[in-house]
């Protein structure tokens, strides 16, 4: 639900990202400009928290 709402993913793509994060412990959700990434990460954390999901989104510089 969070991936669909914040990152505009289809249900199938959201499921794949969710399962990758679940299996590996981490997953790249998107690559974009820093200000957009920070805004999206905070929006996703806030939405997840309000829905009772223990999700964490962080931003990192591209290597």
Domains contained in the chain, number: 1
One-character DSSP codes across 9-58:
--HHHHHHHHHHHHHHS--------HHHHHHHHHHHHHHHHHTT------
Q: Which band of pLDDT confidence, cut at 50, 70 and 90, is reported for residue 20?
A: very high
Q: How buried is residue 38: exposed, middle or buried, by Cβ count under 10 Å (0-12/13-18/19+)?
A: middle
> For the whole model, what pTM was predicted?
0.85
**Domain presence at residue 55:** no
**Domain presence at residue 59:** no
pLDDT per residue over 28-56, tens digit each? 999 999 999 999 999 999 999 999 988 89
Closest listed residue to residue 2, CA positions, set 31, 40, 36: 40
Q: Which band of pLDDT confidence, cut at 50, 70 and 90, is reported for residue 58?
A: very high
Domain containing 26 equals 2-50
52: left (phi over 0), alpha (psi -120 to 50) or beta: left
Looking at residue 54, what is its pLDDT?
A: 86
Looking at residue 28, what is its pLDDT?
A: 94
**Domain presence at residue 26:** yes
């Amino acid at each position: 639900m969070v991936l669909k709402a914040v990152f505009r993913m289809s249900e199938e793509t959201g499921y794949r990202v969710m399962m990758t994060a679940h299996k590996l412990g981490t997953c790249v959700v998107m690559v974009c400009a820093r200000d957009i990434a920070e805004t999206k990460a905070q929006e996703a954390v806030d939405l997840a928290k309000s829905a009772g999901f223990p999700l964490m989104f962080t931003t990192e510089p591209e290597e």
